[in-house]
Amino acid sequence: MKFTKVLFLFLSLTAMQSAFAAQGTFTVSARNPFGTAFTNPEAGPITITVFASGQWSWRPGDQSGPEGSSTVPCSLFGNCPLGYNGVGSLIVRNGPNFAYVGSTAQIELTQGQTIYFLFNDAESGFGDNSGQVTVNWVCTTGC
């Protein structure tokens, strides 16, 4: 009888721990060409799922969400990290490499790895940007 109670308590605590997996929220400004840093908070490799929302603008009158413009590729404005994606899309930088995030994505991180979330725009184009998006993340694997 005591073994059953201890086992039940252990299983209950394990379920509670997984229910409280690592998660958080941060903002990404459309005016910051360096991006917002995110570092793997766990002691090993993880996968996070991100959900982004909000409005930002690459010029007055042209707002978009984290998906960016559906009609204006960033390459029209010069040297963009992801020229084939819409200007104003949420992207992530991992070292010298960039990837599209948009409103949701899954990202794998090694232990201690830092990545940067940013607004997809030409290097010289951040001065007229406005707004920000909020990124909610949850650790889905390895937490």
* Model confidence pLDDT, tens digit, residues 66-99: 999 999 999 998 889 999 999 999 999 999 999 9
Tens digit of each residue's pLDDT (9 = 90 or more) over 94-136: 999 999 999 999 999 999 999 999 999 999 999 999 999 999 9
- Look up residue 110 and give its two tokens: 């090694």
pTM: 0.85
22-141 CATH? 2.60.120.430
CA dist list (Å): 6 to 1, 2, 20, 75: 9, 6, 21, 61
List of E strands, 1-143: 23-29, 36-39, 46-59, 62-64, 90-94, 97-100, 104-109, 114-119, 130-141
Q: Domain coordinates of the chain in residue numbers? A: 22-141
State the Cα–Cα distance between residues 71 and 56, nearest whole angstrom: 16
The size of the chain, in residues, is: 143
Three-class secondary structure of residue 101 per DSSP: coil
In sequence order, the 6+-apart residues with CB closer than 8 A to the CB of 60 are: 128, 130
Segment 47-64 mean pLDDT: 95
